[in-house]
Structure 1
């Protein structure tokens, strides 16, 4: 269930935002180099943008909406989160699911952006062949006074460069975590009920 993931939510935010500032010009950049460079850029924004530090929701959402979306494969993430049920959904249902799941993730992780000022990130050597098109980039977030958090990025290379399709925090996959919840909701009321639930959460308060 989603609540099992709450303890790692803030760590996931760093993972999500680590790719938030990259763009098409970086399509040829290696996945590990991309993660390292952009992580440092985003951390600098967090430390220097007074509106972000003050928790300005509009500014935070603007940053996430404009810089995050091009760097994550939300269609693949949604399909993986749906599991076998993805094939049961109609094209229109699939479109709605991608839109609402994307909105849910943006809402969820926008809420904690202003809290990151004193984190450091350690980058592990990339274990992948030079010609690989699907890799895992491993990092560790070091938090003052707390245990470090292992964060892995599942990334795939397509025509428009590297994109993330899953984030694994402390061994817990974001996609798998949502899959558990989605499967339960579909079991209870079908795909349309899942869509309705996502719509309601995105229209309501802070996402859970």
Structure 2
């Protein structure tokens, strides 16, 4: 229980380098990006997450892990959601990602958003907002999420090996995390939370 509390408390700090990296790469993110194009976007996501966490609280772990695995490889671009195609294996089929779950939740949220405002909210932003909401619904902190990410179109299975492995030594882990702008504290927090459940399978439509 203590490790879960520590994990959700530090999550906004751990993910902030990813947000900054995405902002720099995509020309700047901002809080309230969808206020004009899809003003109910965040409310729709939050409402769906409330239902899901109420009836399946064990999905909180997989959803956090899904967002982390996405951000760690190419930045927060939803490339982990893309399916393998044309003989090329995608990130989700890379060995480190074969235990990921929570894809079906993203599917449900995407369907709701498509009904409200077709083709507007990116899958990358859905992942970031879902991660924020599951933390808050798990009695963790709530933080503002800058949005406006564009979904990636490249997803390569071999790149999943950038993710930290259970067999990595401490020096390798520190180097790996530092390469992503993460500190030793971030490493301790993220490595200390391994009880993440599995579920479902989904590929999000790219916009």
Bigger relative contact order, structure 1 or 2 (CA pairs below 8 A, ≥6 apart): 2
Question: So what's the TM-score if we normalise by structure 2?
Answer: 0.28
Larger radius of gyration: 1
Q: More strand per residue: 1 or 2?
A: 1
Give the TM-score, by structure 1 length: 0.28
